[in-house]
Chain A
Amino acid sequence: GEDVEQSLFLSVREGDSSVINCTYTDSSSTYLYWYKQEPGAGLQLLTYIFSNMDMKQDQRLTVLLNKKDKHLSLRIADTQTGDSAIYFCAESRGSGGGADGLTFGKGTHLIIQP
């Protein structure tokens, strides 16, 4: 199966860390992505991780990958109001035959409380 699952909502206080979780089912997935979608806008690639990595850090963003549990998380440090958006987890096997298209989760709405 190719389902990618995320919780629909996450509410955090401004300045706290946000942790958005994702589970995927396809063990052959080679690349896992986090995209951000702001209201009325397209998708912006935030970061990605190869399946042979456990962690990737990029400024305020930290991605953790647990291959055994097929669990991916995105941590946003010092969450700001500008981080309010929908965050999508996506996977790609990157081997053709339909696998070039990304499989997305339903997205997590990140709500920032002042």
Chain B
Amino acid sequence: LAKTTQPISMDSYEGQEVNITCSHNNIATNDYITWYQQFPSQGPRFIIQGYKTKVTNEVASLFIPADRKSSTLSLPRVSLSDTAVYYCLVGQAGTALIFGKGTTLSVSS
């Protein structure tokens, strides 16, 4: 399984763009990159998934360089409600989802 490394914590202010980068140097050809968000006292929630280049949905964008050894989750104009733990996962279809320690994002006013 490809191991992921991401910052333990990040701080931001409302209205700013937040970029969280995840390193996965030994990602395999068939691995996808997936990000989940977890609020206190709740289970994680899927945010976005990608294989290469850029993926955008109504919540976030995911940037993946050509070598796929890292990925960046971009949250535009964060609000207080974006305060949460963000997890980067790398894996193949049909295998268990393995979560790392995640990045705790704190958004202040």
Chain A bound to chain B: no
